[in-house]
Structure 1
Amino acid sequence: MTLDSTLLAAFAPTGVLRACINLGNPILAGVDAQSRPVGISVDLAGALAKRLGVALELVVVDAAGKSVETVTNEQADVGFFAIDPRRAATIGFTAPYVLIEGYYLVRNESPVKTNADVDRTGTRVVVGQGSAYDLFLSRELKQAKIVRTPTSPAVVKTFVDTGCEVAAGVKQQLEQDVAGLTGYRLLDERFMVIRQAMGVPITRGEAALTYLKSFVEDMKREGFVQNAMQRHGITGVSVAPAE
């Protein structure tokens, strides 16, 4: 991939690559013992900055909606998002690099046994505001009421504290948040596959998006994404197929 000055300016108009890192999804990013951001998205951001030949600056947020807003407003140059048609109005997406599963969590005594049981009048489903599964369920659920929390990590606590009937989220996040608690179960099947991609503001132009798409395909093909998952101990997700 040839990089000219125009393309470099599209990615790093301030002279550094500003990458937005969302800590609200533990599969993608978290913090280490020194409170430094770490994870697959951080590794990919570093690899992109190295390929561009610029320094990396991390813009850290705690929710998917904030990440979308940050990149849309060009307060960051690239970000890591689940692909969704609503977000595509302002962000250009690559193909996904990992596939993540969205699941429902209920209490053991809940009459909800299958995904089809969720969309009923009187059922309240707790989601993280602006998350991929919030956007998806806002379109799909016709009778259930959606209750939104500021961030995805707050979903289970809100579900437990308020007595809502269902919590929705990334499978690993739900499992992590109920670890040590009794009386809860995941339903047996996912309700969606979250296609996690990189993205740039659409204002940066088609050439920048094409370059980023090629970068992501290289990272998948060369084993970078798989190695990052292993390095950070991420299980239960898969590297997206080549496109």
Structure 2
Amino acid sequence: MMTFSHPVRLARTALLAIAIIGSLGVSARADGEAKLLAPSGTLRVGIYPGSPSSMVTDAAGKPHGLSYDLGAELAKRLGVPMDYVRFQRVADIVTAIHDGQIDFTVTNATPARANDVSFSQPVLAIELGYLVPANSPIAKIEDIDRPGVKIGVTKGSTSERTLPAKFKNATIVPAESVKVAIAMFGRGEIDLYATNKPTLFEISDQMPGAQILDGNWGAEHMAIAIPKGRESALPLLNRFVAEEHSSGALDTIQQQAGLRGATKATRE
């Protein structure tokens, strides 16, 4: 019996060493990912109020949203604290990410924005549409392109860049924020508002009688945006997105944020 005890001890020691080395490797990798995605030691999450794709508050005053909740989930996975940085518009967040002031947000992954930030695989696809106030003479999309019709869009948004080419007679009117746009309706400064449908549903909840017109003028492909130069973290982010889908966590986030008008994204 004593003859074999030494080799057995050696085998056990070797297995323990392998386990320790493996755990150290995982720890080092996780630490490296955290330093890459949150180099300040804190994951800085860019949010703006008024859109379920970013941040809204429920009836109890609790915040929810894609950027808000996915940022919290990623920070937990990385093992780092999180700091929400609030902006008025998504365009300002994209600029802050480009300048390295923000680490994370979820936004429309357009080719123009891809020049300034790096994107994960799509998280969700969201229809783009139009909202009209109560008693509007505009009943369908075909009624929009007429002289004197004023289409509100968020300043610096995809809508502002895209819609001028679609309309030859209607006028595009930029608004500083979604909150400002609601006030512009009351003053007669805009006749309808164009953006993604989840945001339009949020606006309609605050404007009795408002309607979202049938149909759409395209779709946004929402993805995680991070600063350029951190592309080696994209495989981690893509796994993160896939796991949020498969676990049902993304469905829960959508429900809590009241995100309506979204479909599953097609991922590469």
Relative to structure 1, the CA distance from residue 175 to residue 57 in structure 2 (aligned partners, 3 Å threshold; closer, same or farther) is closer
Amino acid at match of 1:25: S
Shifted more, 172-181 versus 58-67: the winner is: 172-181
Q: Residue 178 of structure 1: CA displacement?
A: 4.0
Please give the per-residue CA displacement for 1:186-213, whole angstroms capped at 9, x wherever unaligned. Answer: 3221222222211111132x21233222
The alignment status of 1:160 with 2:181, answered yes or no, reads: no
Report the CA distance between 1:180 and its aligned residue: 6.8
For 1:143 and 1:210, the matched residues in 2 are separated by: 45
Partner of 1:96: 122
Residue 190 in structure 1 maps to residue 210 in structure 2: no
Aligned pairs (5 A) from 1:194-205 = 194-204=220-230
Q: CA deviation at 1:147?
A: 0.4
Which of residues 71, 82, 94 is equivalent to 1:45?
Answer: 71
Contact 1:84–1:135 (8 Å) recurs in 2: no
Shift of 1:225: 0.5
Counterpart position of 2:160: 134
The aligned residue for residue 14 of structure 2 is: none
TM-superposed deviation, 1:90: 0.6
**Pick aligned residue for 1:9 from 35, 40, 53:** 35
1:184-241 CA distance string (max 9 Å, x none): 433221222222211111132x212332223212212222201222344434423424
Task: Label 1:34 to 1:166 Cα distance change in 2 as closer, same or farther (>3 A).
Answer: closer
Equivalents in 1 of 2:139, 2:163: separation in Å?
Answer: 18
2: distance between equivalents of 1:53 and 1:221?
A: 22
Deviation at residue 16 of structure 1 after TM alignment: 1.4
Residue matched to 1:24: 50
Q: Which amino acid aligns with 2:234?
A: L
SS of the residue 1:97 aligns to? strand
Question: 1:179 deviation in Å?
Answer: 4.2
* CA apart distance, 1:45: 0.8
- Structure 2 counterpart of 1:225: 250
1:7 Cα deviation (Å)? 3.9
1:72 matches 2:85: no
From the CA coordinates, give the structure whose radius of gyration is larger.
2
Question: Is the partner of 1:203 in helix, strand or coil?
Answer: coil
SS at match of 2:190: coil
Identity over aligned residues, as a percent?
30
Which deviates further from its counterpart, 127-136 or 61-70? 127-136
Give 1 or 2: higher helix fraction. Answer: 2
TM-score for both structures, normalised by structure 2: 0.77
Q: Secondary structure at the match of 1:96?
A: strand
* Residue correspondence of structure 1 range 97-136 to structure 2 within 5 A: 97-106=123-132, 108-110=135-137, 112-136=138-162
Retained in 2: the 8 A contact 1:129–1:152? no
Q: Distance in 1 between matches of 2:207 and 2:34?
A: 49
Q: Which runs of 4+ in 1 moved over 6 A?
A: 33-36
Q: Residue 83 of structure 1 contacts residue 132 of structure 1 at CA under 8 Å; is this kept in 2? A: no
Confirm or deny: 8 A CA contact 2:44 2:84 kept in the other structure. Answer: yes
SS at match of 1:95: strand
Q: 1:45 to 1:109 in 2, by over 3 A?
A: closer
> Does 225-234 or 71-80 show the bigger shift?
225-234
Q: Distance in 1 between matches of 2:202 and 2:49?
A: 14
Aligned AA (2:88): D
Give yes or no for contact 2:46–2:67 (8 Å, CA) kept in 1.
no
2:201, 2:260 within 8 Å by CA — same for their partners in 1? no
CA contact (8 A) 2:33 2:78 kept: no
TM norm structure 1: 0.83
CA contact (8 A) 1:131 1:152 kept: no
Aligned residues: 240
Shift in alpha-carbon separation, 1:58–1:116, aligned structure 2, 3 A: same
Q: Once the 2 structures are TM-superposed, how far is the Cα of residue 127 of structure 1 from its aligned partner?
A: 0.8
